[in-house]
Amino acid sequence: MNINFQLLDLRAFLAVFDFGNFKEAASFLSLTQSALTRRIQALEFRLGVALFERSTRRVVPTLAGRKLEPIARRMLDELDLSILSIGDMGAQQRGQISIACIPAAVSSFLPKTIKAFNRRFPFMQIKILDLSPLDGLESVLHGEVEFGINMVGATEPDLEFCPLMDDPYVFVCHRSHPLATRKNLTWSDMEEHVLIRIGRPDSGNRAVLDNALTKANLQLNWVYEVNNLTTSLGLVETGLGASILPRLATETRHKGAIVTKPITSPTVFRTLGLVERRKGHLSAAARIMRDMIVKDMQSERKTART
């Protein structure tokens, strides 16, 4: 059986599917409503099924329409990605990609990914919102960004997480600190030392550490409390106290004054990954950016293990 249809027929179908009416879909495609209607009718005729139930108030996809939607979207996405990979076509791609990232990602592996992406798409604008884990989740959920890099652990039915790497917590201190010369530390080694606590009570980092300490039945000497990683590192650098921070958050800090030490018994880590809306649809360029980030995060995970 040979079914012939044009790519614009599939784009017309997806536009009606997404907007739920012909007027907005036609405006989005720069078509007249009659031209859009003819394309949908022609596609339905070639497939031999009705794709939408039409009324004066709304347009609802039929069972066949719902089955066709993921197939059509995948076909067009794969075509767009293939075209972008041919010659200089990708280099001419214009637009904007918005990402919500926890600050540690912005200051560690993400710049390398962005630099490589810019070589392929020099005219694409990249908007990065460096947000706390909670604010980053909200930004993805409300459609302010296309996807995010975040801590895995929150339960939100409209979001989908893809775990990619573990980021262990390390002891961070001034080089003059009594524990600075130790090779490895246990949690009990830090009980008598002045510590700087990071994060609001409802923050992801705070929750991970509090849960670990509760399980180990330990009470640490939290003297200072701050809201962000940069402030904590600044206090550590002046020698006011030590802190317990994710390893990625310390990688770009000046190493002259600050020392980091692994913590064992047990090793505590946060899991980082990509977060997307379950019903969201990324642009072709955004999909490429996402795949590059996945590759670089997986590479970072291998480096951390060696």
Extract long-range pairs of 35-44: CB within 8 Å, 24+ residues apart.
36/12, 39/6, 39/8, 39/9, 39/12, 39/13, 40/9, 40/12, 40/13, 40/16, 42/5, 42/9, 43/5, 43/9, 43/10, 43/12, 43/13
Average pLDDT over residues 138-143: 90
Confidence band, pLDDT 50/70/90 cuts, at residue 83: low
Higher pLDDT, 201 or 258: 258
Does residue 89 lie in a domain region? no
* Number of C-beta neighbours around residue 114 at 10 A: 19
Q: How many CB atoms are located within 10 Å of the residue 191 CB?
A: 12
Q: pLDDT higher for 227 or 87?
A: 227
Specify the CATH number for the domain of residue 160. 3.40.190.10
**How many residues comprise the chain?**
306
Structural domain including 145 reads: 94-164+271-305
User: 150: which strand partners?
Assistant: 273
Q: Does the residue 2 lie in any domain? A: no
Number of domains in the chain: 3
Q: Is 17 or 92 the better-scoring residue by pLDDT?
A: 17
* Same-domain status, 275 and 265: no
Please, which pLDDT band fits residue 19 given cuts at 50, 70 and 90? confident
Q: Phi first, then psi: give them for residue 173, nearest 5 degrees.
A: -145, 170
pLDDT band at 1 (very low <50, low <70, confident <90, very high): very low
Predicted structure pTM score: 0.65
Q: Can you tell me the distance from the alpha carbon of 153 to that of 208, in angstroms, rounded to the nearest whole number?
A: 10
Asked if residue 13 is part of any domain, the answer here is: yes
| Domain final position from 64, 84, 104 | 84
Residue 231 shares a structural domain with residue 208 = yes
Q: Is there a single domain that holds both residue 280 and residue 151? A: yes
Mean pLDDT for the stretch of residues 115-140: 87
Residue with tokens 């206090």: 235
Q: Are residues 143 and 210 in the same domain?
A: no
Q: Does residue 79 lie in a domain region?
A: yes
* 171/291 same-domain check: no
pLDDT digits (tens, 9 = 90+) for 32-78: 999 999 999 999 998 999 999 987 677 899 999 999 988 888 788 77
Which CATH number fits the domain that encloses residue 80?
1.10.10.10
